[in-house]
Chains A and B, each alone.
Chain A
Amino acid sequence: MYTAQSYKKPFWAENSGFITGRDPLGIQNSSITTYTRLLPGITNLTLRIRYYGLYSWLLSVYSKEANNKSDNIEGHYNYFRRAELIVAFIMRKKFPDELSIIGSDYTDKREGDVEKKGFYDIRQGADKVSNPKEEDVYWDFPSGALGQYYAGSLIALKLISISERFFIIEPEGQKLAEAFESVVPEEQRTKFLKIIKSGVLTLTDIDSLQDFAINQIAIGSPEWNFYKSMLIGIDGPDILDEDGVQTYLRKETIGLYLEYINGGNRKGNDLNFIESQYLLNVSGKFNEASFGWYYYYLNEGFHFALETIFWTLLVQLDGTEQEVEDFIFKMTELVADKSASPFGNSAEQSIAEIINSTEKIDLISSQTELEGLVKSPINSLVAIHHAFQLMILIYKLTQTRQEEIGSFEKRYKVWAQKGRVSENLECYVEQSMELQYKDFVKETIKKILNDHINTAYRKMGNGESNLLKFIIEDSIITHIQTMTPRHTSPRLRTLSNIMSDLSFVHNNSHLTEEGLTLLKTISE
């Protein structure tokens, strides 16, 4: 603090520096909210469904064996941490090719320990509190992957809850625990719990604990049936639409996904599935979830256009210092230049005129082309033209469907999220109808620059490390870091994993018998 002695030492101003961050324009929450609504109860990080059962069972046992209140939180967390690490070693030894196993990096490095010590030291590798060195444990987060990744989904599905930092089993979770228990023989369960306590895991133990393997869900078992019912049941007890009615968007999405695979779509990547949903809804709503994915596609398309404009600005700024006004003017001139415009319009034409004369070209091709362009900064000036074109195209294609879009946002509570497509269409395009193209470009650039500044400062919260990608000082704009446009990840990889874990889809390419039956059930 400054004191009466501060004069003695003139000082340098201190600054906390920069940090990197995603979502430089603060618009992606609208997409995240949308896919959260379409696929509730799973996340991009809850990649293996059997952990749901494992955690429920562990918590059920814990609640019976321990008096939660008398135990300390470290002991509670270490119980799950040790279990996660034991399973990680089982998977390493028995199914080394399986992916998305919690602690697999650690077990990879420590596989040879058993030859030196004769056992795997679970206590040493898992107990966070007694181990001050982070790199020596399998997981950094104190409550393990359960606390960091899975708990949110388990809570959303009302399988568990949290009270005073302790995980608590809920009645629905108890049912899953019992289903899990029924498929793991008692001697294995007893041994597993004993190893949690002792912290010593031998190769012999691993040989006799195979039913804990994360990829071993027997078709038709109580556990399998529970997962199936859970996934095609209500989205969640607390997940309601605007009328307070329970929804089934996850079930519908699973149906759409299975139908997509069943239709011979072997490309199998997220984007292709979403594009297929966009096409299904081009001329009218297919069903609620499908329209949700159509909405998500439009939302992402508009975001990608805005982020491409921002990216181009950063690319053009890199290595230069320019007056802000000059920079905006120069960029406007470059974009509004008729010879380069994808619309072939003049800089003086109004947006309304341009929209009227724009052909309804294929949105998927337009987006795909833009995604290709942003792979190299060399294309930035071409990409920015396409980004403006994409904004206007999305407006044109949805001009008659704005009510439907608004209604979806309202029903599923996306309406309050910054960056939602209806808001973007209104504030970027609708309100600019009378503007000449050059002014539209100029105002868009200004808005994007301001949105970034606002977002960067807002995200700083009470911290001081700066997320700005450029600095404006004395009216001079200076480049800090370039951010490439990116899409959000809408949980489809997790869905794909779960469908494989439950043997509904084989090899990510075709439906199994169970998959076909499930699809039929959902479609009925």
Chain B
Amino acid sequence: VEEKKIYQEVPGGRNKFHSAILTTFSFDFHHFEYQVLKTLKNKWVINVGVLADSDMLDKTLGTTSQGLRQLTQSYSVDGVKSKGAFHPKINFFIGDNELLMVLGSGNITTGGNGKNHEVFTGFYADSKESAFLPLLIETWRYLQDSARELEGYSKSRIFNIIPRNCSLLGNVNVKPHSYNRVDANTEIALLYNQSNSLFKQIISLIPAKTISLITIVCPYYDEDGQFLLQLLKEFPNTLLEVYIPNNFGLPPVNMESNSRVTFLSWENTDRASAKIKGAENFDRKLHCKIFNFKSTEFEYCVIGSPNATVAAFGTPSKAGVNEEFAAIYKSKKLDFLSNLEISGSKQRIDVSSYTRNTSNAAVSDERKRIRNLLTILACDLIGLTFKLYLKESLGLEGICLTLKCNLTQVRGM
């Protein structure tokens, strides 16, 4: 089965990629500096910006961000606020004449880069004729849209500096959420929140009545299975096979039983037996999100960040609260589930006997956003000038700004 080291596989060299914009829900500073950034630097990717969920970033700062060495000098991290979670996992690489996107389910953390079971895919364009260019341009516009509230250098990087240094990021006619043919048998479209929900985008991309089986491999679900019920409603001829991990995630424990739905044990799949070296007892978490729709002629497969929840996909009439990003394949030939070893003996489970791990609720779609009295949008240190961007003047008196030197190696501030 195909496994790749996410950042090791990026082609390196003077004429390849110079910049990267990476998005993540949770962010591990130490992992990023020691493993990701080092790898990218070796590949000449030196202009790196990270967009992370603002609440998750706030939690990390001050708790597990001590002793950093590279921050402010080699990369920037910006928090992105959204109504729900800012959840996309996009690794977008930009060169003078090339673009590469690696998107999937993994955050920029030790788990997200392979300690968990995480699925990714990669799209590459090296000319204006590339079949993937419209998809990559569409993604770039999505990234720009996500960055619209940033300030300072981080914003300038995405809106000015990078576009000026890539011949492919020009005016290309892109029709959002529509299939792009990438070979004779495969078409790919992108799913992300806009005026309509991911759910609605799926309905418009998949002929509902042709689907006979939907397979879902995912850790997080609505407690009452609302998203699953919605699928049953919109895809009237389908059966649902749902792989649920034991001891992790949020299974739909209160979903009413339905003869069209079978819950299966993730642990019985072939893939689940892929262990981590050196820690036999380590419970490798299922964190991927795979939604496979099977018809007699085509397979449609959604790979990316959304979990099987209404917060992620929304409903046909209402957008989800989360920011999510995924790709949907339409293929006559590709057998996604077999390729990913979602195979083996199917072991039925009684999902109502499973437990919703409440500690996961904090990071799932069910969490509540943190309300800040004051938001720092950006901090730039340019030469000897320190520039701070606040969201707005709140008229709060007695606010004192303290700059901690020991957070990073930055001194004399």
Contact = CB atoms under 8 A, between A and B. Distances in A.
Interface string A296-328: 000000000000000000000000011111101
B64 A449 contact: yes
Interface stretch (B2-10, B189-197, B315-323, B396-404): B2-10
In this complex, the member of A8, A13, A18 whose beta carbon has the largest number of chain B beta carbons within 10 angstroms is A13
Contacts of A468: 110
B25 A14 contact: no
Contacts of B340: 10-12
A475 B121 contact: no
B371 interface: no
B116 interface: yes
Contacts of B116: 13, 473
B102 A2 contact: yes
A475 B360 contact: no
A13 B3 CA distance: 5
Interface stretch (B76-84, B159-167, B253-261, B274-282): B274-282
A1 interface: yes
B210 interface: no
A457 B360 contact: no
B121 A10 contact: yes
Interface string A465-507: 1101001111110101100000000000000000000000000
Given A4-B130, A9-B339, A453-B30, A473 B124 contact: no
Contacts of B112: 13, 473
Contacts of A472: 28, 64, 109-110
A267 interface: no
A6 B122 contact: yes
Contacts of A466: 110, 115, 278
Contact of A10 (B34, B279, B301): B301
B357 interface: yes
B152 interface: no
B46 interface: no
A475 B30 contact: no
A450 B120 CA distance: 29
B124 A6 contact: yes
A328 B63 contact: yes
A464 interface: yes
Contacts of A447: 66
A457 B9 contact: no
Interface string B164-187: 000000000000000000100010
Contacts of B60: 475
A12 B132 contact: no
Given A19-B278, A476-B362, A13 B120 contact: yes
Given A1-B11, A460-B35, A451 B277 contact: no
Contacts of B274: 12
B123 interface: yes
A3 interface: yes
Nearest to A2: B122
A324 B64 contact: yes
Contacts of A13: 3-6, 104, 106, 112-114, 116, 118-120
A18 B123 contact: no
A1 B56 contact: no
A139 B196 CA distance: 68
B184 to A, nearest CB: 12
Contacts of B9: 1-2
Interface string B16-60: 000000000110101101110010000000000000000010011
Given A18-B282, A460-B34, A8 B334 contact: yes
A-B complex: 4 closest residue pairs judged by Cβ atoms: A17-B277, A15-B114, A457-B34, A14-B3
